[in-house]
Structure 1
């Protein structure tokens, strides 16, 4: 498979096989920003299938950034109840307040600015840049790491270091559908290039 064909093939697979996830709904730009922000916080250290019902409940109870910024602690914790790692919820509220007060109610559009928000580090900032702002960035999560390790047969400690894997991301190439493409690669890792019993030959 030539490098320039990889994005086309991956996106074709994604268009026909992607999971229906509540934060992927076709909504307004402002809602997309909010849905992505909430889902990325929830997905820190928690699997997609676990997050789905909690996300739906949270969005139903706290439907936008302004309500999140103003929600009281008791209600916030109640809406997050059962998901664990409650510091994520507190940081999410702090982030909402900072977006409103310092960024005019708009999600920051650079990695540097995003990383000034509580609870947002390198991975989450890059995921937001790709998904919300359609930037040609492939966030390096466990799914992407696994694909690269298998494609390049990486085994030893030096080969599988974060620095080494970042350099290998050239393999994926680029697409003008950067938002979909980033999600498509992670989706392949989750559904096809699985940790156990991968479906790589299907």
Structure 2
């Protein structure tokens, strides 16, 4: 959701920060080079997981190279499930979520993002875009720390990462402030973590 950043606001140890920086370059290139036709499988898995969601679901309005969750937003709205989208605040603070409806006006946000003009809403479930992930549940974002801060501020919310399977790496370094996910969804599978 947020644009790439050059340093971690959480000040990972230098060796972890350097490995993450290198992996971000690799993972961003893989994300841009993927076959976007496979993204539909991600949407289908997410629809299945969320069909009975009981509260607001925080989705993501995509940047040009990201998985496009707009069809999922519309499907959730048709099912009567409230949808929230993030507004990116100044660095160092968690995301703010605003209610989205199909008729919402979208406003320009930071780093090329867009957010709805709706009222504030606290999600019960947060979808997290990933640049990279591994089989132990480690995740790699853009490096701004927005989702780590957001998930820390919403300890009772379920967090679901999503990414094409091309974003899987053998091992991702984990920093002291990295927040765990409940599961990761790709076009091929749902990987659950206890």
TM-score after normalising by structure 1: 0.27
Q: More relative contact order in 1 or in 2 (CA 8 Å, sep 6+)?
A: 2
Indicate the structure (1 or 2) with the bigger Cα radius of gyration. Answer: 1
Larger proportion of helix: 1
